[in-house]
Amino acid sequence: MPQVLPPPLSSEKNSEGDFLPLNGTDYVEFYVGNARQSAHYYRSAFGFRLAAYRGPETGTRDRASYVLVQNKIRLVLTTPLRPDHLLQIGSISKSFAVICALQLEAEGALSLDDPLTTHLPWFRVGGGHGTITLRHLMMHRSGLPMGSDPGPSSLGLVAELAAAETEWEPGERFWYSNIGYDALGFALEAAAGVPFPEVVSRRVLEPLGMRSSVAHIAAADRSRLADPHDGLHPDRPWHPAFGLVTAPFAPSEGASGSIVSTAGDMARYVRHLLARGPTGFARMTDGVPDDEGEPYGLGLRISQRRGHTVVGHSGGMVGYVAQMLCDMEAGVGAIALSNGPSGASSVAATRRSATLMRATSSSAPNGFVT
């Protein structure tokens, strides 16, 4: 979607005194391979005038946009994201943590039915309910609060649960909990004896050849990240008329959602799931219905569509949206990564992609279309 661009290079103003506002439907945006070259072509061949520009020279690292005007016609020519741009995948990261847990269980380092306190002896939570196990955390059935506030994950935030209360017995019902997954990550860290990002890197990213991906969101990798974008009015449902602004950067190392990756690397991960490659994959997809009736397994959602089993997960971070779907019967999958707000949802686009790929899977190498 288009961004709110800076004032144009000319002095033209509209009747309200604003510099060419790019709102509503008063322009057409084209994503092109070389925005600068395309802008030169439209100016020299068709007489368009350059009205505004945003790009690396103005502080935007990941794209260049040119606004061209001719009478009442306004064109926005934008260079799209590059294949090497990193984007945050959000809660899709949860399945990476589960894969690590299943590997550690196979090695005898833990059991999914271990109480969380076996690995984090200091953990406390109020409410007077039963013991929370690692399995409860993976399936969002611990009774812990959601804990969705953006910002760095830490042992301190997990320790603060001592002042919170569970609302029901563990295992009794589904309640999505990011802080529960962060607690799981610290338990895996304790069982493996290395920091959680290193657990994910050694056990998932490196074996799958996901060389561009990183298992934490850190300032050191910020220059490789596509700029995040959010709505100009975050307190309202997003609408194209509001435009976009650069979202704040929020570091994280938590298991709830700290992986940054490229579309190519995530295609490798999707292929791994389609091949049922992870240790204990059948257990990951053995789901229990959530409160809306859709099964949730171990870090993955499971649904039935047109007689096919589809597994996957969505992800939402500050300024990023992601969606992953794998049609297990057709052997095809889709991953969509966006550096925009949830209103510019990738969910519908991914589902359309999965339908297309299923229809063309017979001609696709290795059952995957990019």
> Tens of pLDDT along 261-275?
999 999 999 999 999
CATH class in words for 1-80: alpha beta
Q: What is the pLDDT of residues 81-136, one digit of tens each?
A: 788 989 999 999 999 999 999 999 999 999 999 999 999 999 999 999 999 999 99
Domains 1-80 and 85-370 share a fold: no
Domain spans in the chain, listed from the N-terminal domain onward:
1-80, 85-370
Residue range 85-370 in CATH 3.40.710.10: yes
Arithmetic mean of pLDDT, 10-26:
40
Give Cα separations from 97 to 92, 132, 278 (angstroms): 10, 17, 12
Percent of the chain beyond pLDDT 70?
79
What pLDDT, on a 0 to 100 scale, did the predictor assign at position 347? Answer: 53
With b meaning 16 or more CB within 10 Å and e meaning fewer, what string describes 185-196?
bbbbbbbbeeeb
pLDDT category, 27, cuts 50, 70, 90? Answer: low
Tokens at residue 63, please? 């794209």
Q: Which residue has the higher pLDDT, 348 or 183?
A: 183
The percentage of the chain sitting over the pLDDT mark of 90, rounded to a whole number, equals: 52
- Residue 312, CA distances (Å) to 94, 176, 303, 309 in order: 11, 16, 9, 10
**Is residue 359 helix, strand or coil?**
helix
